Every structure is written in C-alpha cells, then in structure tokens.
Amino acid sequence: MGFKLAVFDMAGTTVADQDAVARAFRSAFENFGVEISVPEIKPLMGYKKTLAIETVLRNHGRETDEYIIEAVHNDFVGEMISYYAYDHAVQPMDGAEDVFMICRKMGIRIALNTGFPKVIADTIINRFGWRENGIIDDYIASDEVEKGRPFPYMIHELMKRAALTDAKQVLKAGDTEVDVNEGRAAGCGLVVAVTTGAFTRHQLEPYHPDFIIDSLLALPAIINH
C-alpha cells in the first residue's frame, strides 16, 4: 500500500533552530525564579508547550495553577515568535525542502505538525513561505486539537483534511520520543525518527521507531524500499 500523507515535525526535524527552543524555555522559567537545565528540557521537546511547562513546575515543587503556566508560556511564545520571525540562524533543516518535493512527486501529501501553539507555527511557515509557495500542503499545531502529542489527534485531523481514513497510508517523521509515540498511537504505516534534533540515536532506540535516520535525505529510499 502506497503512502498518501507524510506528517513531519517542525523544530529539530524540518526546521533547524540551534537549540533556540531550549534556550527560550530556560529564559521563560528564569523570569519566574526557576532554574532548569538543557538535559531537563530535552525529554519534553515535542510535547504541547503548556503541558511541558506544567511538568517542569511540578518537578520543581512549584505551583501549577493556570495563571503561572500561562505567564511562563506567554514569555516563551513571545521569545520564539521574535526568534523565528527575525533571526538569521533560522533555516529549513538540511534536505527538508528537497525531501518534501521528492515525496510530492511520489503523490504523497506533505503536512507538518508541532507541539508549538499555532501562532508560532504560523510564524515559521510564513518565514519560509512553505504554504504560499506550494512546498507543503498543510500544517497543524497542538492548540488546534483537544490534546497534543503523544495523542494522535493532530494526525487524525490532518488525515481528515486529506480525506484519508487508513492510517497505514500515513508516515510520521520526528526527532523525539513523543513523535514516535504519536505515530504509533495514530496507527501510522511508517514511523521514522531523525537524529537531527533533541534526541540522539541511543535515546531514540528504546521507543522502537521503524527506522532511525541521521538525515531526512535518507527518507525517500525508505519509502521506496
């Protein structure tokens, strides 16, 4: 059965951002007197950001009421929007656009999903011109569905928009544990992890993706296998 839809993660998978997400998280928490390390942040990459913030606050014995979560989240979002809109370091991941075009020539619809809220996703897509230039077909953010990763709702919504009912026709690619678990929860026919983002190969192996690759450029060969 051929694939009809490819769902790619954004930061760390199709968007190179030089660990800006981790830095923005640290900065947002520091504004509220919470010191966190990059190793503490990495396992939370890919999750809906309000959930990640709540988890960090709980781990540090801090209150997790909605006001604090929203305040930290607002700081994080503001910094990320500024970064993704203006910083010269923001680039498509090496090979991402080439892989998009190869997949589209194979008849595969290209969609992106993310743990970011829609306002950040919009900033990234607009920065690269991916939607207006026809490089991707669709994208969705975690605040557009009931629950973000590892729940399958973002993939299900993208399938609905693409008029697909069989998840075996969907492939999922991402750089974190929660990307892999999202793909499994959705029943995707192929779940691929990449080592270009938050997790190393060693860290990805326990979650048993179908393949672990060091570059998106390896993906077309897997699809054609």
Same domain flag for 70 and 101: no
pTM of the model: 0.92
Same domain flag for 187 and 114: yes
Q: What's the pLDDT score for residue 64?
A: 87
Same domain flag for 219 and 152: yes
Same domain flag for 54 and 109: no
Q: What's the pLDDT score for residue 202?
A: 97
CATH number of residue 54's parent domain = 1.10.150.240
Q: What's the pLDDT score for residue 112?
A: 98
Q: What's the pLDDT score for residue 1?
A: 54
Helices (H) and strands (E) in the chain, counts: 10, 8
Q: What's the pLDDT score for residue 42?
A: 83
Q: What's the pLDDT score for residue 191?
A: 98
Q: What's the pLDDT score for residue 17?
A: 81
The whole-angstrom separation of Cα 3 and Cα 120 is 28
Same domain flag for 40 and 136: no
Same domain flag for 72 and 115: no
Same domain flag for 75 and 122: no
Please list the rounded mean pLDDT of every run of 10 residues in the chain (225 residues).
93 91 90 88 89 92 89 94 94 97 97 97 97 96 96 98 98 97 98 96 97 98 91
- Which domain covers residue 186, as residue numbers? 5-17+91-223
